[in-house]
Amino acid sequence: MLIDSHCHLNYKGLIENQANVLERSRAAGVDLMLNIATRESEWDAVLDTAVREPDVWATVGIHPHEADEHPHVDTAKLVERAAHPRVVGIGETGLDYYYEHSDRERQQKSFRSHIAACRETGLPMIVHTRDAEEDTLRIMREEMETGPYGGVIHCFTASGAFADAAMDLGFYISISGIVTFKSAKDLQETAARLPLDRLLVETDSPFLAPVPHRGKSCEPAYVADTAKFLANLRGESIEQLAAATSANFRTLFSKVA
């Protein structure tokens, strides 16, 4: 059985036929799905799906793209909403200097608020980073000195050096369908050498459908294609990779248990 450690079931492309999407995912051997929040206005819907579906869990967080629009979402608000029994993580949060839809300082302030919420709740953090390796790592290290916290670098596309630094801080690395793209040679090299006990798999659906589904709306069922590609890349059986990534997910997101 596989776990999709990061999907957006309430986004356009999935929400219109969510029941069918979930049915196909289960048929593909997806045991659990983590439904990720990116803005406050969707927290209720994301949580409602997790309450209704026993194999779906939820997070609360503010994506770095949304930092400008959510100055009021502080650590206390995140902690309050994270108390719900179906909320198992904080995020996604982090830094995105590629699109820069939000001011960099606001992104960094929001990121630190999320880290503080992780520290206070004991829940892991889901980190998004794009073209912001230096600041992401600097903030993670500075905050770790204040007090320990854990999490995962989701949809990993950063450098191998960043992966090593994140794992040194105790973080997991989650691989999406991007690893199946012909252009992703550097990512494939990093993914091939990551320790099996630090590895997760995800879809980030409805985005980034893996080969052979490119051009389609991605859905959690496709995590099976990413896992098969990754297992072959690493010289492991799909059973071995599925078992390890599922165990890693349950270790990191221990509230699921």
Per-residue pLDDT tens for 220-232? 999 999 999 999 9
| CATH of region 2-256, choose from 3.20.20.140, 3.30.930.10, 3.90.1150.10, 3.30.565.10 | 3.20.20.140
The rounded percent of the chain whose pLDDT value lies above 70 is 100
What integer pLDDT is reported at residue 151 of this predicted model?
A: 98
**215: number of Cβ within 10 Å:** 6
Return phi, psi of residue 106, to 5°: -65, -40
Per-residue pLDDT tens for 202-213? 999 999 999 999
- Helix ranges restricted to H, 147-237: 160-168, 185-193, 223-234
Per-residue pLDDT tens for 39-89? 999 999 999 999 999 999 999 999 999 999 999 999 999 999 999 999 999
Q: Any idea which residue has 């492309």 for tokens?
A: 13
- The answer to whether 89 and 126 are in contact (CB under 8 A) is yes
What integer pLDDT is reported at residue 126 of this predicted model?
A: 98
> Confidence band (pLDDT; 50, 70, 90) for 200?
very high
What integer pLDDT is reported at residue 257 of this predicted model?
A: 85
What is the biggest distance separating any 2 CA atoms in the chain, rounded to whole angstroms? 47
What average pLDDT score do residues 244-248 get? 98
Integer Cα distance of 104 and 132 in angstroms: 10
The answer, yes or no, to whether residue 22 has pLDDT greater than 90, is yes
| Residues 6 or more apart whose Cβ sits within 8 Å of residue 23 | none
Report the amino acid identity of residue 114.
H
Return phi, psi of residue 72, to 5°: -85, -15
Q: What is the mean pLDDT of the chain?
A: 98
DSSP character at residue 155 = S
Integer Cα distance of 112 and 216 in angstroms: 35
Strands lying side by side in the sheet with 30-35: 2-7, 30-35, 56-60, 87-96, 125-130, 151-153, 172-175, 199-201
**Angle formed at CA 116 by CA 131 and CA 154, multiple of 5 degrees:** 35
Q: Number of helices and strands (H, E) in the chain?
A: 9, 8
pTM of this structure: 0.97
What are the residue boundaries of the structural domains of the chain, listed by start? 2-256
What integer pLDDT is reported at residue 171 of this predicted model?
A: 98
> Confidence band (pLDDT; 50, 70, 90) for 251?
very high
Per-residue pLDDT tens for 143-173? 999 999 999 999 999 999 999 999 999 999 9
